[in-house]
Amino acid sequence: MSNSTERNFVQTTNNDADVDATTPVADLTGRLEFSADRHLVKLGPLADIHLASMDGHQVAVKVMRDIGISETKRRALVQKMRTEMEIWSSLHHPNILPFEGYYFYSMGSSTDSLFSLVSPWMSNGTAVQYIHQHPEIDRLHIMYGVAEGLMYLHQHNIIHADLKESNIFINDQGCPVLADFGLSRLAKIDEILTFTTTSSTSTNANPGGTVRFMAPELSVLKDMALNIAEQQMSGLLDVSCWK
């Protein structure tokens, strides 16, 4: 998908998104400044985090990984990220990581770019990192802030689905903010990428989330889904053997 085609696709109104259609989403392309080495902070399975600056303050840029999928699948993936973008931009709460806008990350040519999401840089790191650096901090204050953020999401019919220490950051005011929420809204990404992982820390099979932090009943549902899939595959093999 070319730069202009992907840009037009992202900017098209998503009528399926359950968000406030009046919420403006800023195109920040051209406004961000990167260091010479692009300051890669974190690698992820679907996106990488880079540090940049905008209007004198630091921002985190979540760049969609160029994973070599077909244009059709890439288009579908961008659509799901656009849904996340529209949901994220509609949320405004002290305990939710603010959304700045989207950005097209240049790949070194005029036609190649990667769709990215931009948020303020959290210099205090995650809640766990912050507690280690400030052991005297009131942990109940952090827990209360997390609960407030979750309640706000639930009031907007959004389930975080992957709440864990690496998705809770501490802002400059010492308050916790939730990030990487709304996986339930992006569940169809698994159908697009059609791959799974055997890692003990995460899974790309529905229901999504990080195994270590998932509710036990979700694990049961996952086992049931795998059993059904195995039965269907067995049936297909049986049929093919008789052809």
Catalytic residues: 162
226 vs 196: CA distance, rounded Å: 12
135 vs 155: CA distance, rounded Å: 32
Q: What DSSP string describes 145-172?
A: HHHHHHHHHHHTT---S---GGGEEE-T
Label residue 137 exposed, middle or buried (CB < 10 Å: 0-12, 13-18, 19+).
middle
Name the one residue in this structure whose structure tokens are 């303050």: 57
Running DSSP on this structure, what letter comes out for residue 56?
Answer: T
The amino acid at 168:
I
Structure token digits, residue 138: 């009131």
85 vs 10: CA distance, rounded Å: 10
Q: Where are the beta strands (DSSP E) in 2-56?
A: 40-42, 47-54
Structure token digits, residue 104: 């097209």
CA Rg value for the chain: 20
